[in-house]
Amino acid sequence: MTTQDASLAGRWKPSSLTIRILSAFVILAIVIGLALLGTYGAYVLVLILAGLALWEFAGLSEGMGSRAPAWLLFPLGIFFAYSGTVLKGLDVNVVLSLALVGGLAAFLVVPGRRQGLGRWAMGMAGALYIGMPFNYYLLLYTSKPNGLVWALFTIFAVVVSDSAALLVGSRIGRHPFFATISPKKTVEGALAGVLGAVAVMLVGVSAVLGLSPVHAIALGLLVGISAMVGDLVESQMKRIAEVKDSSHLIPGHGGVLDRLDSILFPPIFVYFYLAMFHILG
């Protein structure tokens, strides 16, 4: 290597777009690895990701005006995450009733009771926001006979959608899309993201599973649009909290929620679509 080549190598730094795309695929590889270990690997993965996301939400909630109480946020969030699988024996109505009565009653005596209603509401919202999407991933994963395929292609479609939106938006994007929430997003990027999700679902649903392309296109649209909504929702939370990232847990990359924001909503729509057309086993 010449001196000039060494100098160029020393000065080269990956762009933020490159870092985000690479980090997305690294996370995807970890997710796939644990998912391939079987049901217990999936349970461990959900516990780790949901726990970290709930921790980050607790920090964001303080910036949004009412800090979610940990004693409500974490147990309820974990319950929701496993409510359709490991903890399906617990009646959701009973748990919600206890969270309602016990949660509000607790603020009659615990510190911070003057902000009790807001803190209780933030705890409930965070538990639902983080917990329920993981519940639907597990429901997809544990369905027979193609649960693993459905879960992985849902995640893969979101990753490709997010990457396509970033790539196209940063290169040829001209028309702002929800500029008040996320100034860098463009209409061109949003359309590319939806088309990316459709392309992945055409491969997964039609080529791999052999279902009608109509189902593939419908699922791709649902995944692409819901992924975009999830991204905007978390961006709005950060804007309200006046922070750039949900945390600094991943050096140079932000937090777990910054990587999961687009992934949270799609499994809900995929699961109910498949259930509606009796596609799941």
**225-271 pLDDT, tens digit each:** 999 999 999 989 999 998 888 887 765 567 888 888 999 999 999 99
Q: For residue 155, which of 170, 168, 136, 169 has the smallest C-alpha distance?
A: 136
- Phi-psi group of 31: left, alpha or beta (phi > 0 → left; psi -120 to 50 → alpha; rest → beta): alpha
Binning the chain into helix, strand and coil, the percentages to the nearest 5 are 75, 0, 25
pTM, entire model: 0.88
- The HSE-up count of residue 68 (CA atoms within 13 Å, CB side) is 27
**4-19 pLDDT, tens digit each:** 555 545 565 666 667 6
At which residue do the structure tokens 């917990």 appear? Answer: 131
**Percentage of residues in the chain having pLDDT higher than 90:** 64
Element (H, E) at 125: helix 116-142
Torsion sign, CA atoms 111, 113, 115, 119: positive
Helix axes 266-276, 116-142, angle to 10 degrees: 50
pLDDT at 246: 84
**177-236 pLDDT, tens digit each:** 888 888 888 999 999 999 999 999 999 999 999 999 999 999 999 999 999 999 999 989
**Residue 272 and residue 220: Cα distance in Å, rounded?**
14
pLDDT at 102: 94
Element (H, E) at 170: helix 147-172
**Residue 201 and residue 215: Cα distance in Å, rounded?**
9
Going by pLDDT thresholds of 50, 70 and 90, the confidence category of residue 149 is: very high
**18-76 pLDDT, tens digit each:** 766 676 677 768 877 888 888 999 999 999 999 999 999 999 999 998 999 999 999 99
Question: For residue 143, is pLDDT > 80?
Answer: yes
